[in-house]
């Protein structure tokens, strides 16, 4: 349902120098080897800077980088010149982790130039989250139409990443709004992956006859599709077990009863809960936590050894992670950590059509130490 809403150094230490060799720096997941995947040196440079808490990066149909800032601004930047165009402002409530978050495009943008956005807003019952779409006229965004709203929100755990799948449905990650009971409650839209039509209705074929696609999530911050349609997700754990998951329709991802794998580390009830509640275990998990955020699937050949792998940024970990997937995409065979502590907190990663990787810093989010030019969009490519 819709309604109108007005309104050059090569180094063996990861992350040091302007050039880094792909390398690994310790292992967070017992039993999961972490090892180098290539010997390529990666050069970095700043595309644009001076932003306030970049949240999402997306390669636009106009061959520019579109991005959101948490206070509500939507902008474009030319990756060749660094020229910035401000194109819209959403009426957000920036409260803690809330504000303007996810961004996605209609797959037929040339004829239906709609931009999808997720953001927090104030309601009479507290913080809530909504997803809207707005038409782009080639210069600015028009008034947004609400697709879904009243998603429980909080000062923490709002999600909210957007992705349009190969099935032409809109996928939305939602956090548990700091109340873990939301995640197992299939009547709540919090702690879920939601799937909608591009017009805002619950997608036909959803497993429970509602907008819910999967449940049992804590704070999913990244969504990315592989070319074969497999959906991957990053998720914040509590004080343990940050996760990367492969999302399957109708499945339970365990929170708050399960932390990471079904190995009993969340208490004596964890294993029987897994056995009786159709719980999916993560592809990888990290303790101590690293706060995984934006996620991308690398389907290019520019960086040797990366094709068919996952890339994700981390906030607490302050690094870019590269996960090599098995041939069937159902397990992680190795991982490496890049740029550790080089740029500070990293919120998102995006792969351009030529295989160049872009990172967004998040040092102005209230938990980082911003430098004089933060926040920044950083380009990563082979030297």
Q: pLDDT tens across 196-205, in order?
A: 999 999 999 9
- Where residue 88 sits, what CATH number does that domain have? 2.120.10.30
In a domain, 96, yes or no: yes
- The pLDDT tens digits of the residues spanning 16-59 come to 333 444 444 434 443 344 444 556 799 999 999 999 999 999 99
- Residue 38: the pLDDT is 57
In a domain, 26, yes or no: no
Rounded distance between C-alpha atoms, residue 55 and residue 59, angstroms = 14
Rounded distance between C-alpha atoms, residue 307 and residue 302, angstroms = 8
Rounded distance between C-alpha atoms, residue 280 and residue 266, angstroms = 15
Half-sphere exposure of 52 (CA within 13 A, CB side): 8
In a domain, 102, yes or no: yes
Secondary structure (3-state) at 184: helix
In a domain, 31, yes or no: no
Rounded distance between C-alpha atoms, residue 261 and residue 252, angstroms = 13
Radius of gyration of the chain (CA): 19
Secondary structure (3-state) at 229: coil
Per the confidence metrics, is the pTM higher than 0.85? yes
Rounded distance between C-alpha atoms, residue 95 and residue 99, angstroms = 7
- The pLDDT tens digits of the residues spanning 65-82 come to 999 999 999 999 999 999
In a domain, 295, yes or no: yes
Contacts of 112 (CB under 8 A, 6+ apart): 106
- Residue 4: the pLDDT is 38
Range of the domain at 192: 3-7+46-382
- 319 pLDDT band (50/70/90 cuts)? very high
Rounded distance between C-alpha atoms, residue 258 and residue 265, angstroms = 8
Residue 239 has pLDDT above 80, yes or no: yes
- Residue 13: the pLDDT is 33
In a domain, 16, yes or no: no
- Residue 40: the pLDDT is 78
Mean pLDDT, the chain, integer: 92
Omega before 207 cis (within 30°)?
A: no
Residue ranges with strand state E in 49-169:
54-59, 65-69, 73-77, 84-89, 100-105, 114-123, 126-135, 145-152, 162-164
Question: What CA–CA distances, in Å, run from 237 to 241, 254, 266, 300?
Answer: 5, 11, 11, 30
Number of domains in the chain: 1
Element (H, E) at 310: strand 309-314
Contacts of 94 (CB under 8 A, 6+ apart): 70, 71, 72, 100, 120
- Residue 168: the pLDDT is 98
Closest C-alpha among 363, 305, 319 to residue 28: 319
Closest C-alpha among 89, 43, 55 to residue 375: 55
Instruction: Summarize the confidence of residues 248-276 as an average pLDDT.
Output: 97
Rounded distance between C-alpha atoms, residue 45 and residue 380, angstroms = 7
Element (H, E) at 271: helix 270-276
Q: Which residues pair with 252 in a beta bridge?
A: 215, 279
Question: What CA–CA distances, in Å, run from 224 to 104, 162, 285, 359, 364?
Answer: 12, 9, 17, 15, 25
In a domain, 13, yes or no: no
Specify whether the CB–CB gap between 129 and 151 falls below 8 A.
yes
In a domain, 24, yes or no: no
- Residue 294: the pLDDT is 98
- Residue 39: the pLDDT is 67
Element (H, E) at 245: strand 242-247
């Amino acid at each position: 349902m819709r309604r109108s809403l007005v309104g050059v150094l090569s180094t063996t230490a990861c992350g040091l120098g302007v050039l880094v060799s792909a390398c690994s720096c310790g292992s967070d997941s017992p039993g999961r080897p972490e090892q180098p995947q290539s010997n390529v040196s990666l050069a970095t440079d700043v595309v644009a800077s001076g932003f306030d808490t970049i949240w999402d990066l997306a390669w636009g149909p106009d061959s520019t980088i579109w991005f959101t800032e948490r206070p509500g601004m939507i902008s474009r930047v030319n990756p060749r010149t660094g020229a910035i165009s401000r194109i819209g402002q959403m009426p957000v409530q920036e409260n803690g982790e809330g504000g303007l978050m996810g961004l996605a495009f209609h797959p037929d943008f040339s004829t239906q130039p709609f931009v999808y956005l997720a953001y927090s807003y104030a309601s009479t019952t507290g913080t809530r989250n909504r997803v809207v779409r707005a038409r782009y006229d080639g210069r600015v965004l028009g008034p947004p139409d609400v697709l879904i709203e009243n998603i429980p929100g909080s000062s923490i755990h709002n999600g909210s990443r957007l992705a349009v799948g190969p099935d032409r449905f809109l996928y939305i990650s939602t956090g548990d709004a700091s109340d873990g009971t939301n995640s197992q409650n299939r009547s709540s839209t919090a702690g879920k992956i939601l799937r909608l039509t591009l017009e805002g209705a619950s997608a036909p074929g959803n497993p429970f006859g509602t907008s819910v696609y999967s449940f049992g999530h804590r704070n999913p911050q990244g969504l990315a599709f592989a070319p074969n349609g497999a959906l991957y997700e990053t998720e914040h754990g509590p004080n343990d077990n940050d996760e990367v998951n492969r999302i399957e329709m109708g499945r339970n991802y365990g929170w708050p009863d399960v932390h990471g794998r079904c190995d009993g580390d969340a208490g004596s009830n964890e294993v029987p809960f897994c056995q009786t509640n159709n719980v999916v275990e993560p592809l990888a998990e990290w303790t101590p936590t690293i706060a995984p955020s934006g996620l991308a699937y690398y389907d290019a050949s520019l960086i040797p050894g990366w094709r068919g792998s996952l890339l994700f940024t981390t906030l607490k970990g302050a690094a870019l992670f590269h996960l090599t997937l098995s041939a069937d995409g159902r397990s992680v065979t190795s991982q490496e950590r890049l740029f550790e502590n080089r740029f500070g907190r990293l919120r998102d990663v995006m792969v351009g059509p030529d295989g160049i990787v872009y990172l967004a810093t998040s040092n102005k989010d209230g938990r980082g130490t911003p430098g004089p030019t933060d926040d920044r969009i950083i380009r990563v490519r082979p030297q």
